């Protein structure tokens, strides 16, 4: 398998993982609601935890990457200034 296919499948894995995670959250919440008989409160609690916690994690990850990129750009600009370019 060449590098293009590897990159293609790696890029495809993230959206598929998100879809599988959301489906598993729904199935788990429905299981808790029906089999364990926690009612609507348990359903909404599980949905809230399993949906909003990953959203928070993704937001933090994106913010971290953006801050890291900005610092790298500043460092590159300083090095170019010091080199006289």
> Along the chain (85 residues), what's the average pLDDT of each consecutive run of 10 residues?
86 89 85 78 79 87 94 94 85
List the domain range (segments joined by +) for residue 7.
3-83
- Residue 73: both structure tokens together: 């750009």
Q: Which residues contact 43 (CB under 8 A, 6 or more apart)?
A: 29, 30, 32, 33
Instruction: Identify the pLDDT of residue 76.
Output: 94
Residues in the chain: 85
* Number of domains, the chain: 1
Instruction: Identify the pLDDT of residue 47.
Output: 78
Instruction: Identify the pLDDT of residue 66.
Output: 95
Q: What is the pTM of this model?
A: 0.57
Instruction: Give backbone dihedrals phi and psi of 36, rounded to 5 degrees, phi first.
Output: -85, -10
Instruction: Identify the pLDDT of residue 38.
Output: 75
């Amino acid at each position: 398998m060449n590098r293009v296919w590897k990159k293609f499948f790696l890029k495809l894995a993230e959206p598929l993982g998100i879809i599988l995670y959301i489906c598993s959250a729904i199935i788990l919440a429905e299981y808790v609601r029906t089999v364990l008989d926690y009612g609507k409160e348990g359903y909404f609690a599980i949905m809230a935890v399993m949906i909003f916690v990953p959203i928070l994690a993704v937001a933090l990850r994106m913010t971290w990457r953006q801050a890291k990129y900005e610092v790298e750009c500043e460092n590159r600009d300083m090095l170019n200034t010091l080199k006289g370019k």
